Chain A
Amino acid sequence: MGIIRKALTSRPVASLTSPHTIDHYLDQIHPMLAAENVRARVVEVVQETGDASTVILRPNGAWKGFTPGQHVQFGVEVDGTRRVRCFSVSSSRAAKKGTFSVSVKAHPDGYVSQFLHKELKPRTIVYLSQAEGEFVLPRQVPDNLLLVSGGSGITPVMSMIRTLRDTGHQGRVTFLHYARSRDDEMFTADLDALAEAANVTVMRIYTRQPAPGAELKGRFHVDHLKHLGIDPTETLTYVCGPAGLIATVRDTYTELGAADQLQLEYFKVPSVDLDAADATGTLTFDDAKIEADNSGATILEQAEAAGLKPEFGCRMGVCNTCVVKKNHGAVRHVISNEISANTDETIKICVHVPVGDVNVAL
C-alpha cells in the first residue's frame, strides 16, 4: 500500500482532484480507505475499573505509529457532530500487529469519555490524528529510569513500561503510582505481572485508602524516593498526573538540583463549572502567547482589548468571518446561551464568551 499511498497523495493527483484531495473521493467509497486521514476501527472496549475503559483500535494505513508516551486526538461522531478529545496511547509499541489502544477514565462532565465508556461499540469507525507529544522515552533508554504517575496519568506511563517490558529492556525501572484507592486503579492485573520482573519495581500508593501494611503512604514526598533508594540527579524521571503531583515533584527535583532529569506531562481533564460566575478564568490566545483574565466580553472583544487584530466581519454571528479553532475550554453563545466544551472545535468569536479557562488559536 506504501507506493499506492504515495502516488495518491502526490502532486499530480492533487492537481487532478483540485480543489479537493483524493481522500474526499476515497471517503465516498469507504471511510477507512483514506490516503492521508487517519481512521481506525474499534476492535474491543475493555472495562478497566468502574469508570475507566481501554479501547483497542485497528488504524488504517495512514497511521504512522506512535512513540510510547504520546497521545492522539480521538474523534467520535455523535448525532452528526464530531467530538474530539486527546487521549494517551496506553499499549505497548510491540503489541499485537496493527493495533494499539487508548485508555480513558470517564469524567463526570466529559461527553466523549462517558460515551466511550458506556456506548462505544466494536466496529465503530473513529477519526484520529497522528500521534503527537514530546513526553516520550529517548531512543537510547538509560539504565536508571523512574516513572511517576497519578490517577489517570498512568496511561502514557503504562505505554512506556509495557514497551520496555516487551522490548526486553534490562535497566532498572521504578514505577511509582499514586491512586486514591485500589478500586480507582487501572491496569491492576498488568501491574501485578510487571512487579514480578526482576528489574522492575512497582510501587502503588493509595492516598485515600492505604493498603494495610503499605511501605509508603500519602502523597508524593522526597522520603518516597529515599525509601526506594533513588538518586534523582542520576535517574531520568517521567511524571504524568494532576497539577498538584507535578508541582510537588518539580519542587523536590529543583531543590535537589535534578530538574534536568525531569520530563513532565499534565493530565488535563476538561471541566465546566456552569454555576460559577461567567467572568472567571483565563483566556489564552495560543498563537500570540498572550493570557488575559476573562472579562466576560466576547472573545473577539477580549482579543482586541489584548491588542490582537483577529479577522471579523459583521460582529453579529452572521458572516462567519471570525471563526477560529478553540483548542480547549468552554464557551457560551451570547444569543442562544448554549455552552460548548469540545476540544478542537470551530467557534465564531464575535458571539461567544468564555466560561472559565479557554484556549483559542489566535
Chain B
Amino acid sequence: MSLMPRRKSGPPVTGVDKNAFSYRAFRDLKLNKYIYVMLVPVIAYYVVFLYGPMYGLQIAFKDYSAGAGMWNSPWVGFKHFESFFESYYFWRLLRNTVLLSLYELVFAFPASIILALLLNELRSNRFKRTVQTVTYMPHFISIVVISGMLVDFLSRDGLINNVIAMFGFERTAFLGEAGWFRSIYISSNIWQSVGWGSIIYLSAMSSIDPSLYEAARVDGANRWKQTLHVTIPGIMPTIVILLILQIGSFMTVGTEKILLLYNPTTYETADVIGTFLYRKGILEADYSYSAAVGLFNSVINFALLVLANAASKKSGNNLW
C-alpha cells in the first residue's frame, strides 16, 4: 500500500530524530488533521456519555446527595454493597436473574441454530424466503407492542384463554401467576427472535466449501451425517462467538420486557436486578445504593465475559 503522504516542501528536517514520538505525533497530526477533526465529535460523545457514567460510578462508594454533588459527597466504602448482600431481595433477585438467563441460554440460544439447520435443508428457495421474511418480522416490532399483545392474549378473557375454554379447560390469569412468568417470558422471546437469530448462522452455512459436502457424499454420508460432520463444524466458530457475547450479557436479561409484563404478584419469579434497579434508583431515587447494585451486576457480567472468552481460547474461536 502506498499510503505514504506527499511531502510538502517545508522546512528541512535535518537534526531531528525522525523516530521520536513527538516528531511522529506532530507529523501525524498535521498529515491527518481532517481525520482528527472528524474524530472530535465521536470522541467527545464517548467521553461524555459513556466514560462520564463510569466516572459517576464512584457514587456507589459514597453517600450521594444532590446538594453536595458527586465530588463532595462523603465516602462510605462498601456500605451499600453490604446492605444489598444482606437484604431480603438479594437472593431472590440473583435467582431470578440467573434462572431467566440460563433458560434463555438453554432454550432460546439453540432455537435459532436449529431453525437455521432446518431452513438449510429446504429444497424450495421460495418457501425458504417466505419462512424467513415472516420469522424476521417480530424482531422489528417494539417491545411495548409485543408486551401489549401478550397482555391482551394472555388475559382472563383473551385469545389464549378463549381457546383453552373452547376445549373445556379452566381459564388461567397467566400474567398474574408467578409460576407462569418464566415460561411466558422465554417462549415469547423465542417467538420474537428465532428468525432474526438464524440469519447469521445461515450466512455462515452458505460460506462452507461445497466440496466438503461432495467429499462426504462420496464417503457415503447421508444428510444427517453431512449435517453432523460438515455443517455443524462449519458454523462452530460463529456459535462460539455468539455464545461468548450472550454470556457477556448474562446478568442483563430483558429488563425492558419484564418491566412491561410483571406486577407485584409475579415479583417472586419476575423481579430481576435490572427491574429492581429501576424501582430503587429511578422511582425511589436511592442513587448510591442502586449504583452499587448496578456496579455489582456489571462486574459479574464483565467477569463472565472474560472467563468465557478465556475458555474458548483453547478452541481458537475467542473474541480477542
Are A and B genuine complex partners?
A: no
Residues of A within 8 A of B (CB): none
| Residues on B facing A (Cβ under 8 Å) | none
